[in-house]
Amino acid sequence: MTQTLPETSPTGAAVRTVDAVVIGAGFSGMYMLHRLRQQGLTVQVFELADGVGGTWHWNRYPGARCDVRSMEYSYSFDPDLEQEWQWSEKYPTQPEILRYANHVADRYDLRRDIQFETRVESTVWDDEAERWTVRTDRGEVLSAKFVVHASGCLSIYKTPEIPGLESFSGPWYHTARWPREGVDFSGQRVGIIGTGSSAIQSIPVIAAQAADLTVFQRTPNFAVPAHNHEFPPGYQEEMKAHYPEFRQDARTSMLGIPHPPAEKGALEDDPEARRRRYEKAWHDKDNTLVDLMAAYTDMLTDKEANDTAAEFVRERIREIVKDPETAEALCPKDYPIGTKRICVHTDYYETYNRDNVHLVDLRKTPLVEITRDGVRTTEQEFRFDALVLATGFDAQTGALTSMDIRGRAGLQLKEHWDEGPRSYLGIAVANFPNMFIITGPQSPSVLSNMMVSIEQHVEWVSDAIQYVQEHDLRTIEATPEAEESWVEHNAEVGNSTLFPTANSWYMGSNVEGKPRVFMPYIGGVGPYRERCDEVAAKDYEGFVLAG
């Protein structure tokens, strides 16, 4: 399908021509803008929010923190930036990360090329002009040689699939759209649906404030203690003195978080030695969310090995939670540990020992509806003054499939991904020339320290764009064969692990009707980077370069 570019937009404004449109001003979009501008391109960034920060702009729920340590969840591209910025504690809070994002926007004067409060409605490839036509909800039309989707992996939030939300007479809040001014739950009866990471972080904080908190749990999660703390004097300076080596270790690691490689399988250690390892991963104040799973080589490939760590965590839950029935309900039993994102908690399990906190096990008494006064399960109606929905996201593909993205001959990305995402390296899609995705499905993305993966993708994409420009090329486009073989490789690596045995958002199984496919790439951040570098070194092997 050829779509002729109009000379004026529907509002009568002239069509604006830029080299690149970047969608999203989170950490991906900001760095993308910085790089492309340095390369001399004209760039327009569109962002739905009224500020930078992406996920950290929206997710302002009580207790929101990153579950990767602050000093590694930060940009490494500018040594001056990483030396000058001071983090205050092990796991940064949402406000601190947002301050950092704003600092970056100021430092590199990014805002002048970001248009806020604007939704990109469509990006359509014009076969004749060999450019993208980008339309926004403000009626603007742009013509761009390149489009970079930096719209995030967890941006389209979902509400529970039960009727009645609109009939609830009190206020309800989704963790991913928390009011900027905060919420005062003092004296209130509050219900929260969901027990993923957002709920696990917010429940202890809400419980300390509300008169009464009822948690509706469908699937319990494994959570390890955060041991969050302010940095002791000298710690940060010491880390900064070795930043280059530390960053390099992160880039070549499996998950973007440096960790010594495991040496043997879990069952090769005797039970006592195994316990000591798990105890260390649990109690060490500098632990990370990967320590437990990285203790042995086969934790994510061998169910028996995995069971040893899962049982260790269940024992800790039974130790902490005093009411045996509540403890049992909080113990995950029907999926291997690590196949749903492990949560990092501060007093989550301890919170169930409070008199004002109640757990409702939806496996026993499923939700039926939200009523005017609260929530009804198959057993009873619960009355609330306020409701919190911590019900997650249409992850990884949602932001892309909810936009009208059309490539060659009008092919819709949503159609192309009907049976699950298809991409080459999680960066490019066949029949969608000059289009790139930052941390797209089939790249390590959500299975890694996002900052490491974001920087790797932004740098790879900006290098590819520079290559196209310097060689006077018109288009760069993944071949269908390269895409097919990457899709197969992704599935093969994913299927060699325990991940597909869980109903997780990695599998798309949290969204009704979404194809059940393991989406992120589990081959490891370091090996993946090598593969991408090899593709670039071979003059973009697997891509057609035209011009």
Query: Six-digit token pair at 186?
Result: 């003092």
Least separation in angstroms between CB 361 and ligand NA7: 11
Q: Which residue is nearest to ligand NA7 (CB)?
A: 196
Query: Six-digit token pair at 424?
Result: 């080459």
Pick from 109, 117, 137, 161 the residue near ligand NA7 by CB under 6 A.
161
Least separation in angstroms between CB 421 and ligand NA7: 18
- Residue 122's Cβ-count burial label (10 Å; 0-12, 13-18, 19+) is middle
Pick from 197, 401, 439, 448 the residue near ligand NA7 by CB under 6 A.
197
Query: Six-digit token pair at 384?
Result: 């609330």
Residue 425 Cα to chain centre, angstroms: 17
Distances (CA, A) of 239 to 97, 261, 287: 19, 21, 16
With b meaning 16 or more CB within 10 Å and e meaning fewer, what string describes 487-517?
A: beebeebbeebbbbebbbbbbbebbeebeeb
Distance CA 213, CA 379 (A): 18
With b meaning 16 or more CB within 10 Å and e meaning fewer, what string describes 283-320?
A: eeeebbbbbbbbbbbbbbebeebbebbbebbbebbeeb
206 to 265, contacts with ligand NA7 by CB under 6 A?
Answer: 216, 218-219
Query: Six-digit token pair at 73?
Result: 């969840």
Beta pairing partners, 376: 369, 381
Q: Which helix (H) or strand (E) holds 60?
A: none
- Part of the chain binding ligand NA7 (CB under 6 A), chosen from 117-125, 160-168, 243-251, 286-294: 160-168
Least separation in angstroms between CB 97 and ligand NA7: 12
Q: How many positions of this chain bind ligand NA7 (CB under 6 A)?
A: 23
Least separation in angstroms between CB 266 and ligand NA7: 24
Cβ atoms 419, 224 nearer than 8 A = no
**Cα-trace Rg, the chain:** 24
- Part of the chain binding ligand NA7 (CB under 6 A), chosen from 33-41, 43-51, 192-200, 425-433: 192-200
Q: How many CB atoms lie within 10 A of CB 166?
A: 7
Question: Could you say whether residue 69 binds ligand NA7 (CB under 6 A)?
Answer: no
Distance CA 317, CA 350 (A): 9
Least separation in angstroms between CB 197 and ligand NA7: 4
- Taking the least distance from each CB to ligand NA7, the nearer of 341 and 529 is 341
- Part of the chain binding ligand NA7 (CB under 6 A), chosen from 129-137, 178-186, 190-198, 453-461: 190-198
- Taking the least distance from each CB to ligand NA7, the nearer of 3 and 219 is 219
Residue 406 Cα to chain centre, angstroms: 24
- Part of the chain binding ligand NA7 (CB under 6 A), chosen from 73-81, 159-167, 275-283, 456-464: 159-167
- Part of the chain binding ligand NA7 (CB under 6 A), chosen from 42-50, 106-114, 144-152, 384-392: 384-392
- Part of the chain binding ligand NA7 (CB under 6 A), chosen from 15-23, 119-127, 189-197, 285-293: 189-197
Q: Which of 462, 395, 402, 315 is nearest to 119 (CA)?
A: 402
Distance CA 436, CA 127 (A): 17
- Part of the chain binding ligand NA7 (CB under 6 A), chosen from 138-146, 188-196, 241-249, 250-258: 188-196
Residues in contact with ligand NA7, shown as a per-residue x/- string from 304 to 343 under the rule CB under 6 A:
-------------------------------------x--
> What is the helix, strand, coil percentage profile of the chain, to 5?
35, 20, 45
- Taking the least distance from each CB to ligand NA7, the nearer of 377 and 469 is 377
Q: Which of 517, 458, 514, 530 is nearest to 490 (CA)?
A: 517
Query: Six-digit token pair at 23?
Result: 């969608």
Least separation in angstroms between CB 304 and ligand NA7: 24
Least separation in angstroms between CB 513 and ligand NA7: 14
Pick from 23, 114, 193, 207 the residue near ligand NA7 by CB under 6 A.
193
Question: Could you say whether residue 505 binds ligand NA7 (CB under 6 A)?
Answer: yes
Distance CA 215, CA 224 (A): 19
Give the SS3 label for residue 146: strand
Pick from 510, 523, 526, 532 the residue near ligand NA7 by CB under 6 A.
510
- Taking the least distance from each CB to ligand NA7, the nearer of 342 and 532 is 342
Residues in contact with ligand NA7, shown as a per-residue x/- string from 390 to 429 under the rule CB under 6 A:
xxx-------------------------------------
Residues engaged in binding ligand NA7 (CB under 6 A):
154, 160-162, 175, 193-199, 216, 218-219, 341, 362, 367, 390-392, 505, 510
